[in-house]
Structure 1
Amino acid sequence: MSFVLLDRPREHVALITMNRPERRNAMAFDVMIPLRETIERVSRDNDVRVIVLTGAGDGFCSGADLEDPGPLPDIDGLTLPSIARRAMEELEDVVLALRKAHQPVIGAINGPAVGGGMCLSLATDIRLASETARFRAAGINNGLTAAELGLSYLLPRAIGASRAFEIMLSGRDVTAGEAERIGLVSRTVPAPDLLEECYTLASRIAAYSRLGVELTKRMLWSSLDTAGLQSHLEHEGTAQLLVRLTTRNFEESIRARKDSRPPDFMD
């Protein structure tokens, strides 16, 4: 049985599904390592313009698998502290793979995203949630820190510092409705419509310039790291000039408007 599925539901759209529904797609290593490998492989597929990430069954990802974490590769001869560090790196690499993907990643949050699953959802670029979704920074509930896999970096940037502090320190559930209200997800939709809504959004994005979309993703993430406005303006200006001066996309957009047709961006 494959714990990660890859499908092509629409032209230029890849659907990656974590496929361990009986464990609500918990973060066992035999799920997360193939997931990272699949994201990296799809990132290099130049026919894919947008990635959709979801979970099989009625859950997105339930966080750490406390019953069967699966095999961790290449740990022969390591002591327990080194093994623990390697384990965290394997999970961290999934978050980084989502961020580094050439394509935008839409998270189709189809159910609970708990602990590391919440972190995984925050690593996607856009999040749409079903009405059955819920989020919880569960580390604090387990006597640990809620700050894991980038959550203390990503969550305040998504919803603001005060809300992030309250959610991470209280260990409470955030419903789909609240998640939409505070900006944790872009919108919520009925569960049967979730993937189709994601595909419709993905197809809209895929119609634009490949280079323009990728650089927009890069600039948005860069803005979260930048030290100041002037530095970021220089990054944005360079990216805009690159597309403007090395492609005929702008001229094509003008022709398309005059002809009352969708533009065909060839980069």
Structure 2
Amino acid sequence: MPFVLVSQPRPHVTLITLNRPERMNAMAFDVMVPLREALEDAGRDNGTRAVVLTGAGRGFCSGADLESPGRIPGIEGLTVSSIALRSMELLDDVVRTMRRLHQPVIAAINGPAIGGGFCLGLAADVRLAADTAYFRAAGITNGLTASELGLSYLLPRAIGSSRAFEIMLSGRDVDAAEAERVGLVSRAVPGAELLDAACDLAERVAGFSRPGVELTKRTLWAGLDAASLEAHMGHEGLAQLFVRLTTRNFEEAIAARKEGRAPDFRD
């Protein structure tokens, strides 16, 4: 059985499922390499307009697999130090790949998201959680740092610096209700409804203009990195002008609204 499953549950929606439930979908390299490849394939698939990422079984991802880490590709002849660097680069690249995708990535967090699994969820553009899910920055409780795979960058931007510091320094669990309250996830729903909720959102996004969605994702992330409002507003304005002047999407939206039908965005 492959450790990563790919399916298309709705039109233009690709579902990627971490499929190692007996290990709570831990981040063995045998899982992360095919996950990166599945994300890259989805990014190249012009029929995919949104991606949903979830885990099989009762967990989303339990972080590093300390018992069965799997094999790191391309390390023949390297020393331990170089192997360590290659391993971190591989895991980091999964997070970077999610950011680079043209399509929005929606994480359907169906259970515990611990350590690297917490980071994986944060790397998504949108997070929905089952009511049984929880999050833990586990590194600090294991005698390491809580910061890994972009967590110290992503978490403060998601929930603010004070909450991020407290969660990362304490290593405590954040349940789904608190995650929704502080903005770590956009919604917490009953577990049986999670995948449908994520796919409903993905299908809605897929119905909009392709450049409109792609540029919205880009400008949202650029806004989090922007040094000033002045600098960022220029990027936003260019994106809006690009879609307005190079497509008939706006005219189609107005016509559809007048005619009481769904718009047909042909970009």
For the aligned pair, the TM-score class normalised by the smaller chain equals over 0.9
- Which 4+ stretches in 1 moved above 6 angstroms? none
SS, match of residue 52 in structure 1: strand
The number of equivalent residue pairs is 267
Query: What CA RMSD, in Å, does the superposition of the two structures yield over aligned residues?
Result: 0.5
- Inter-partner Cα distance in structure 2 for 1:87 and 1:199: 32
- Inter-partner Cα distance in structure 2 for 1:31 and 1:54: 13
Tell me what 2:113 maps to. Answer: 113
Tell me what 1:131 maps to. Answer: 131
Any residues of structure 2 matched to 1:1-267 within 5 Å, and which? 1-267=1-267
* Structure 1 residue ranges without an equivalent (≥5): none
Deviations 1:51-110 (A, max 9, x none): 000000000000000000000011111111110000000000000111111100000000
SS, match of residue 16 in structure 1: strand
- Inter-partner Cα distance in structure 2 for 1:11 and 1:73: 34
SS, match of residue 97 in structure 2: helix
- Inter-partner Cα distance in structure 1 for 2:165 and 2:115: 15
Deviations 1:187-219 (A, max 9, x none): 100000000011111111111001100000000
Q: Name the TM-score, length of structure 2 as normaliser.
A: 0.99
* Matched residue type, 1:172: R
Deviations 1:231-260 (A, max 9, x none): 101111111111001000001011101111
- Inter-partner Cα distance in structure 2 for 1:254 and 1:174: 44
- Inter-partner Cα distance in structure 2 for 1:189 and 1:217: 24
Cα distance, 1:111 vs structure 2: 0.1
- Inter-partner Cα distance in structure 2 for 1:186 and 1:233: 25
SS, match of residue 129 in structure 2: strand
SS, match of residue 54 in structure 1: strand
* Matched residue type, 1:34: P
Cα distance, 1:135 vs structure 2: 0.1
- Inter-partner Cα distance in structure 2 for 1:158 and 1:249: 31
Q: Name the TM-score, length of structure 1 as normaliser.
A: 0.99
- Inter-partner Cα distance in structure 2 for 1:25 and 1:101: 22
* Matched residue type, 1:105: V
Deviations 1:104-140 (A, max 9, x none): 0000000000000000000000000001100000000
SS, match of residue 257 in structure 1: helix
* Structure 2 residue ranges without an equivalent (≥5): none
